[in-house]
Amino acid sequence: MDNLKAVREVVEGPLRDIAGRFSRLLADDWPHRALVIFTLECTGRPRKVAGDREITDKVTIAELAAIKARLEPGGQLTTTATLGGVIRPVWVLLDPIGTLLVLVPRSNRGSLPRPGALAEVFGLVATSIRQQVTQASPDYLAESRAASSERARTIAEMAVAHETALATILTTLRSTRLDDRRARLAAIDSASAALLALRSTQKRDSALTEEPAHAAFGRLRREVRQLLRHHDAELEFAAPPKDGRPLPGEIAHAARAMTSTAVLAFVAQPVLTRLRIAWVVEETALRIDLRDQDSGRLDVAGLRRMLDGRAKTIGAVVEVDAIPGWGSRVTIEVPFEPASARPGQPELADLNPREIEVLRLVARGQRNKTIAGALGISESTVKFHVAGVLKKLNVSTRGEAAALALTAGIAGS
């Protein structure tokens, strides 16, 4: 597998489908039934899976954590492990940055072929995932927000259903009408343990998908000090309280990325002597507030362009004011919950930046070959993006997609 163009297409596409693209890339050289990528950095969807759904639908975070614990960073194994509730032969790689790859081979025999080559290509994929998370790209934020919302809903439903069922069992088994005291006590112990396990599972999942606001701000403070280590500006940080509500993972990543972007814009002014950076956790949103009292020559238009992609993806509201001679202020209101789509409105917010570019050119009547030349990608990649656009917009033809683009006003932008 020496096709760098194919590797580029894996890392270039939407993050939520990266496991499927990577699985297709590896299919010839490393035949497998299922593929799992596991990274705790991606809070919205730490498991990225492709292949046999009898396996991938049942894979748990606990199973992957157990496999990961068996390797040192940069290591690889041909072994057996519990995956999807069944002991299976697996090929395993742990990238030096801590991202895990698990393949279930098609054949039960044979060690991992060409581990060095697989490690190199997986390293590119792992680095791409990490960069999207670190930079909080709009594509990552869209995936993470959708995944964490669905996870929270599912966990809540399961927790209520299971807790009700187990509580009913406990009530029944505690009844004095049952004669076998020892059996009753054993059943009570088992049900109590199940309740505790269920609650601890919910807490563990919350720990993977949320970050305390105070801790997230602490990471931001360290990052900003590193950014401005050679700048003389005095920095004032106003952190949220330690006992405040935790932030959804995608909100924490977006808030740090957007704050850092705004800080760099403030630093680019001719004069900056003092900068105040504050996060305020309100009931339904995180409010980011940056202000100075210097030249008031902040590049308002440029900063808005840099913040626009992330802001639209997570429904944030950005306000930028700069008054020459008085100072500049940036406020960003980031809602904890995504706004529901308005009835009858085409849902274009799910499209990532590359898909928007493709849709814009489709709406101008351009064919795949022309689009490929304009964007510097292969024609097959254009076909992939067009198919993704049609699916997300819930339409079946390019004409319908073009009509939605024209209605939304993006065809000529």
CA distances from 336 to 179, 212, 239, 283 (A): 52, 13, 18, 9
Question: Which listed CATH number (3.90.470, 1.10.3470, 3.30.450, 3.30.70) goes with 4-135?
Answer: 3.30.450
State how far the Cα of 160 lies from the Cα of 394, in Å rounded to an integer: 33
Q: How confident is the model at residue 247 (pLDDT cuts 50, 70, 90)?
A: confident
CATH classification (class only), 211-335: alpha beta
- The dotted CATH code for 353-408 is 1.10.10.10
Distance of CA 205 to the CA centre of its chain: 15
User: How would you label 194-208 residue by residue, b for 16+ Cβ within 10 Å and e otherwise?
Assistant: bbeeeeebbeebeeb
Measured at the CA of 66, the angle between CA 60 and CA 68, to 5 degrees, comes to: 105
Separation CA 291–CA 212 (nearest Å): 24
| Largest Cα span, the chain | 86
Q: State the Cα–Cα distance between residues 210 and 206, nearest whole angstrom.
A: 6
pLDDT, tens only, 161-176 = 566 556 666 665 666 6
Residue 365: both structure tokens together: 């009547």
**Quick one: three-class SS letters along 349-391?**
CCCCHHHHHHHHHHHCCCCHHHHHHHHCCCHHHHHHHHHHHHH
> What is the DSSP pairing of strand 274-281 with strand 234-238?
parallel
Residue 399 has pLDDT above 80, yes or no: no
Q: Are strands 246-248 and 234-238 parallel, antiparallel or unpaired?
A: unpaired
For the chain, domain boundaries? 4-135, 140-209, 211-335, 353-408
Name which of 33-37, 295-299, 345-349 the model is least confident about: 345-349
More confident residue, 53 or 341: 53
Give the closest residue to 38 by CA, choosing from 125, 145, 149, 146. Answer: 125
Cα 156 from Cα 207, distance rounded (Å): 15
- Per-residue pLDDT tens for 306-321? 888 778 777 788 899 9
Residue range 335-349: mean pLDDT, rounded: 57
Q: What angle do CA 302, 41, 78 make, to 5 degrees?
A: 140
pLDDT of 270-284, one tens digit each?
888 999 999 999 888
**Tens-digit pLDDT profile for residues 124-158:** 998 888 877 766 666 666 656 555 554 554 555 45
144 CB burial (10 A radius; 0-12, 13-18, 19+):
buried
Top-ranked range on mean pLDDT: pick from 22-31, 306-315, 350-359, 384-393: 22-31
The fraction of the chain above a pLDDT of 90, given in percent, is 26
